[in-house]
Amino acid sequence: MAKKTGIDREKLALVIIDIQDKLFPNIQDKEELKKNVIKLIEFSKIIGIPIVLSEQYPRGLGETLEDIKQALGEYQPHEKTTFSCCGEDGIEDRLLELGATTIAITGIECHVCVFQTTRDLLARGYEVHIISDGVSSRIPENKKVGLDRMRTLGATISSTEMFMFEIMEKAGTQEFKDVAPLLK
């Protein structure tokens, strides 16, 4: 029997990093980023992928964008002051509680909080997938450098649609029919 090569969705979590009111206005391609994050949230809710949300110093940088909070429904951010989500109590504990060993990451900024979280998760043995059209930075070159560094460290670079299709694996299922409106 051939070895399964796709993502083990039973051990998967989506981590959304710091898409906050005061950070978001200066981010490159921000509307596409927001659209893709919302699509990933809806996808995750349909197929049962748990979502973990971080906020970097919300007293200074504001809360998660209202559109994303609405898409989430249940809004329980993990506050942090370290750039890596692994540097604060709560976020990694939540991943362990969920039994997640594979993490899909979206958020801002790609070269700071997304990069440092990815670096730390990889060092702890997690499989990490970066959703390239679901991450960004204020400066395009910083996003490129962040993605390059994460790839070098062993992260898988994907896109929103590529990730969604890889998880579903086939058409013709009820799940595919439920997700299909997100793919238009």
Mean pLDDT by 10 residues, the chain (184 residues): 68 97 95 97 96 95 96 92 88 92 97 97 96 97 97 97 92 90 88
Residue 121 within any structural domain of the chain = yes
Residue 2 within any structural domain of the chain = no
Residue 143 within any structural domain of the chain = yes
Residues with Cβ within 8 Å of residue 159, at least 6 apart in sequence: 131, 132, 133
What stretches of 5-133 show up as alpha helix (H) in DSSP? 30-47, 58-61, 66-72, 91-98, 115-123
Cβ distance 110 to 136 under 8 Å? yes
Cβ distance 128 to 153 under 8 Å? no
Cβ distance 96 to 125 under 8 Å? no
- In this prediction the pTM is 0.94
132-170 pLDDT, tens digit each: 999 999 999 999 999 999 999 999 999 999 999 999 988
Residue 4 within any structural domain of the chain = no
Residue 3 within any structural domain of the chain = no
Q: Could you give the number of structural domains in the chain?
A: 1
The parent domain of residue 141 ranges over: 9-183
For the domain that residue 63 is a member of, what is the CATH number? 3.40.50.850
